[in-house]
Chains A and B, each alone.
Chain A
Amino acid sequence: MFKLEKRPQPSKAFAYLTPILAIIATMIAGGLLFMALGKNPFEAIRTIFWDPLFGEFAFYYRPQLLVKGGPLILIAIGLSLGFRAGIWNIGAEGQYIIGAICGAGVGLAFYPMEAWYIFPLMIATGAFGGWAWAMIPALLKVKFQTNEILVSLMLVYVAEQLLASMSLGLLKNPDGHGFPGSRNLKDYPSAFNDEIITGSGMHWGVLTAFIAVIFAYILLNRHMLGFSIRLTGEAPRAAKFSSVNPTRLILFCLGMSGALAGLAGMFEVSGPAGQISIDFNTGYGFTAIIVAFLGRLHPVGILFAGLLMALTYIGGEIAQANLGLPAAAIQLFQGMLLFFLLAVDLLTNYSIKRVKTEAV
């Protein structure tokens, strides 16, 4: 029989080792899954993890890594601040949509005027939109002790309806021959979120994501506010004893994660996506939750986790196209990654001991 024994100290080695173990376990279990589907498991794993980086068409996929990883990292950084404090914003997808609508809306309002200040203004309104959307669950929680998990999640569906309404109504392209969707911002230089270095995939949103990583790292490790966040997550009563104001913390964490999700939405709509459309959102806000945990809620970890997740997305698409793997199998594969990570994570705080069965 085996027994779990709590370690006196969390193991440093395992804190770094668990993501790697989880990835290996996912590869094995995923390989078995692909085998059961009648595919060559080695080829499938290679297609997912190797081809996007070093395969024949890597020059095309590598920039995609940043394009897909950027918003994931940006949203996950915001979420991780709240998660660290035990404040669960599950509705980043909704804040992402609202940020995109607000940002794009401001840009389109100026069309066709060209001015340097349009894009910065769009960034500000995008962040504001996400922030405001996140303030709804925050204020309800603070005032009426509602559950932020439920409220933020429900607001995702509200945001989706709003998105549909916008693409069919207010923001619809007047020159679009009746098709749903806004004007394409790629054709509007003042509002276009272009690549900073051509062909690199590095647009302003990716840069913002990297800045957010640094900002979050400094906040958590060098600032009293970050310490308060960590303390609240570790021991809420000790945090209160230490003079942390829970109300302010809830407002800050939800507001920050909302603003970053809004930014991600705004950079996406003005760059890679180009326009507001009914199916604009692709689930970054939900995947970012996985990214946040995969990165152990640590800023640098999230940076790597975001890139890894982007890799499985791109690799998954290649595998779908080249090997004919079903989309559901790829989603399952991504789900396994989180599952194994959480399972192996136990080893950071516990060690497995072999015990002789004891008559009780």
Chain B
Amino acid sequence: MTGTLLKIEGLTKAYPGVVANDSVSFEIKYGEVHALLGENGAGKSTLVKMIYGLVKPDSGTMLMNGAPFAPPEPRAARASGVAMVFQHFSLFDALNVAENIALGMEQPPAMRDLAEKIRTVSEDYGLPLDPYKTVGDLSAGERQRVEIIRCLLQDPKLLIMDEPTSVLTPQEVEILFETLRKLTAEGVAILYISHKLEEIRALCDAATILRLGKNVGTCIPAETSARDMAELMVGTELQTPKSAGATLGDVVLDISGLSMPSPSAFGTPLRNIHLRLRSGEVLGIGGVAGNGQDELLLALSGEMRTAHDAVKLKGEPVGQLAPNARRMRGLLTAPEERLGHAAAPNMSLTENALLTGNTRRGLSSRGFLKWAKARSFAEEIIEKFDVRTPGPDNAARSLSGGNLQKFVIGREVLQDPDVLIVNQPTWGVDASAAASIRQAILDLAAGGTAVIVISQDLDELMEVADNFAALNEGRLTETRPTQGLTIDEIGLMMGGAHGMEVAHV
């Protein structure tokens, strides 16, 4: 099928102080997977919200099937055949699949009919799902299926998907792609938002790239390299991080039989983790979110104590030591959550520099703070890591995500650690900041520091890590060299398809 389904012309939306979308135009054809690419803050979500009727454009027009389309609310958009799968699921854990789906419907049919319908639709599209299963027992991939089926029951003409693969293993991604391809074969158009370029190359027929609210280019992903797309997104030439290829030294971090209950009710306990890390080594730890990554960081930073000799630093047991005692011995960490965990949002950058820098940088004597020294440490971080801010007196929350992340990573790197553990170092960070953070990690390793990078971005891990291991339900797989590792093997290490079946249709 050909022809234009949705034509967007000169769509503009301004918020106080920022133009989120500046006369954006593009079109989506029937049966096409159209990628919407851009960095954080490029205006992707505003654009999608306008199509879904959540936000009203200031100017510009949309044509659906040639007819003017200006949904005042999501209900109207749904009536016109637009459906959306959000990045964050809105499901009730205590209800079953059918009940959850019924909740989102205007006039839900009788439960038995609905269940039957769910079963049929899910089989048809290769997303088998038991309508009577409680949502709380489903994996992230299965939950996403619930959301997708909820959309499919509306017979959509345009399906919007916001970062759908961030919660999936490679195997689960493959299953999702099968479904999407089947949908497009039936003429459904898909607007696919992502920043994972390889995925877009594999799936999408066309791509529109946004930068600072403007449409900066359209390309055919299959014929464009990921690098070129990234450069369109960022607007400058990207530096690919280079590893100096350091030789590995002695074992500096030795984790054996590390088990720890989760601090929160919904967390994952760590189960008997073994791991040896040598100086100069970068170990990438992959895994789907919520499989023990946060807990592993807490156990290593010292925020959670474990059996004393489960964690050995340069031969010395540190499992019972507080964070500062570990810092003094050379073990530094950078947690995933920037605001509230790695940094205090309302405090100045100087104060945030003090937050972890006190012990190794000697920012206090006999408990009395040396503010001048703390301030110059903050200035050093800002300068060496190119943190864009008016100065060290600014509050952490005034920085953009990428800049604050550079600050948080820089703060640890400049303390010259023996072992550095970072969790999601480039999450939600723009491509150029991500590249400079990865380069900093590689430089650190070249200088003999042992680094663990915990990340859900497999491309990132492949780029920086010498060795790879995966967390799955709180267990760590054995460590394998990154070189020669196929995406299939990685997926299996991450837990494969988590037992999700594929309907053969």
Interface residues of A (CB under 8 A from B): 5, 8-10, 222-225, 227, 230-231, 234-235, 237-243, 245, 353, 358-360
Contact = CB atoms under 8 A, between A and B. Distances in A.
11 contacts: A222-B369, A224-B364, A224-B367, A224-B368, A224-B369, A227-B351, A234-B345, A237-B337, A238-B343, A243-B325, A360-B73
B394 A9 contact: yes
Contact of A245 (B322, B342, B355, B395): B322
B347 A230 contact: yes
A9 B348 CA distance: 9
A241 B352 CA distance: 12
B341 interface: yes
A234 B347 contact: yes
B171 interface: no
Given A238-B344, A245-B322, A223 B369 contact: yes
- Between A227, A230, A238, A360, the greatest number of chain B beta carbons within 10 A of the residue's beta carbon is seen for A238
Nearest to B73: A360
B7 to A, nearest CB: 22
Contacts of B342: 238, 241
B354 A227 contact: yes
- Between B339, B340, B359, the greatest number of chain A beta carbons within 10 A of the residue's beta carbon is seen for B340
A256 B205 CA distance: 67
B344 A234 contact: yes
A222 B363 CA distance: 11
Contact of B398 (A8, A231, A360): A8
Nearest to B397: A8
Interface of B: 16, 54-56, 72-73, 301-303, 322-325, 327, 333, 335, 337, 339-347, 351, 354-356, 358-359, 364, 367-369, 371, 394-395, 397-398
Contacts of A353: 16
Given A9-B394, A242-B323, A231 B355 contact: yes
Contact of B355 (A222, A223, A241, A360): A241
Contacts of A230: 347
A243 B324 contact: yes
A224 B370 CA distance: 10
A360 B72 CA distance: 7
A223 B366 CA distance: 9
B346 A10 contact: yes
B355 A359 contact: no
Contact of A227 (B333, B337, B369): B369
Contacts of B398: 8-9
Nearest to A358: B56
Given A224-B358, A231-B355, A235-B341, A243 B302 contact: yes
B346 A241 contact: no
A227 B16 CA distance: 35
